Structure 1
Amino acid sequence: MRLALIHNPLSRRNRRDGPEFIDMARAALGENFLEPRSRPGMYDEVRKLADRGIDTICISGGDGTVSDVMTAIHHAYPKNALPSLAIFPSGNTNLIAGDLGFRQRGPAALRLLLDNPEKLSHAPRRPLLVSWPDGSQPERLGMFHGSTGYARAIAIAHSPTVLRYAPHELGVIATFIGAFGALIFRGYREHWFNGDEIVLDAGGERIAHKRSFLFLATGLRHLERGIWPFWRRPGDPLDGIHFLDVADHPRRLVQATWALLRGRAPDWLRAHPDYRSGCVDKVVLRTTSDFVIDGEQISPGPGETIVIAPGPEFIFLQD
């Protein structure tokens, strides 16, 4: 195992840690312990890792850091020689680590990687590959996409007022509670329920040509606390892109939210025209609204179209 570690010094949990982990990693890995402080710096460092033949990259950070590292690898490494990934849950949000990462972090996790790699399990997974048909932006890899109402909620959660009083994962929860709670006020309710105009093709099928209250897509298979707002339809592949589209002004929203937060999709929900979900091999999304990949807000660009497809297969190491 030729191991490197990318440590995000700005993530909330890493900032709280003492020097023990950093000192240990530097002593063990030398030049292969990296603390990039910008995305261009990250990309430059990953290109150097590819040149040195590093075949295992540990990521100590949250979802945004994991997404950035996977994207950098996608552009720097040969497609037939991608490194294995080991994720330590050290960020503000850790949805990816919750499904594909280590339970341990810090010195204990690094010692396991260095001393007993044979004890690790291997989980193959394809992240989402987001591309712009007009070529306005380079391809990006990530695990959790959200548009329309989700992007609006994340924008609120990233505001200084919310971040001041809650860590990011609690800020998102508080944002949703506040947003849905505010639906009792007519002006806010209409703005939120109106959603955003989208055209959505999923697996070659036109799903929506309307306004969408909420759209989600993921390459993950599990979310925290049993939440799973997706279901498969007859004939859907066993693996692919899980998606959920909720129409504007959705009926029975309270009942649907309660079911999906518990990871359930009753028959009435599967049959309801306001809620569409499935597992497909490609999603084409046309919209003027920004979307979110692993916590980062991104523009659809002048072409107003993005394509979401399965990306290259990575091997994720787990303790």
Structure 2
Amino acid sequence: MIPARCRFSSAGKMSVSLDIRLKRANKVYHEGERVSGVLLVNSRDALQHQGVSLSLEGLVNLQLSSKSVGVFEAFYNSVKPIQLVSSNMEVVKPGKIPAGRTEIPFEFPLQAKGNKVLYETYHGVFVNIQYTLRCDMRRPLLAKDLSKTCEFMVHCQPQKSKLQPNPVEFSITPETLQNVRERSSLPRFLIRGHLDATSCAVTQPLTGELVLESSEVAIKSIELQLVRVETCGCAEGYARDATEIQNIQIAEGDVCRGLSIPIYMVFPRLFTCPTLETTNFKVEFEVNIVIILQDDHLITENFPLKLVRV
């Protein structure tokens, strides 16, 4: 197996490895800063090369779900990758690198192309925002070229205004449920609670509490479900898809009536980002409170969230 650091071997006794090391351990940068580090070359023997280059690229990759493909012709143009930043530099001119360990320093300005904006790093299902460094070492004719890719993260600048708490009270009964065909067949229940805020700092947990006041049927499980809602498209139409990010069980079994159950969910890094709305795509988030009854009735209450970086 190839170890975590990419290692490349050429024919014969020569063994060469190429790596990219960023100065910041957390690999997090903001627009306007400089991405710096070293290229690390380990070679058993002196290494002839045709030049070492480094490129920095930021892309938004959009993908349509299978249900959306073919619905709108215009989608095929709108889902082309959107380039946010692109830079290239020659780090070392053609020559020879001595045997042993060689460190080559580099520095790149992180600046968007033209009037583009650097969106925050985000790994989704239909929307993917990624920033990468790629190092290429060109080798003589019979030797294999070497390359190494390293992802780094971009965070948007924190908003300066203080986040105002906006607690949301909720009460769930058979009458408040939507999309119910036979409401009369539902058992009687009453669930109350609150979320401390639906405008949330992406670095802080979602908190609140839930109380099961009464239920004719025993409870099987109570869960928190974090959902991303990704929208891709253009003026002719949009494809909107909701997918689950994580599911946390906050209670199991037939919980005591009147007992306060804490709601606590940390937003996972990479899979969440500040709520984003652009011309071609949107990334939004929701949380579902899911109560599963012993007779397998599923009760779901949905709350849209606005995530920000403060």
What's the TM-score bracket when you normalise by the shorter of the two chains? under 0.3
Q: What is the TM-score with the length of structure 1 in the denominator?
A: 0.22
Q: Which has the higher contact order (CA 8 A, sep 6+)?
A: 1
Larger radius of gyration between Structure 1 and Structure 2 = 2
Of Structure 1 and Structure 2, which has the larger fraction of its residues in helix? 1
User: TM-score, structure 2 length as denominator?
Assistant: 0.22
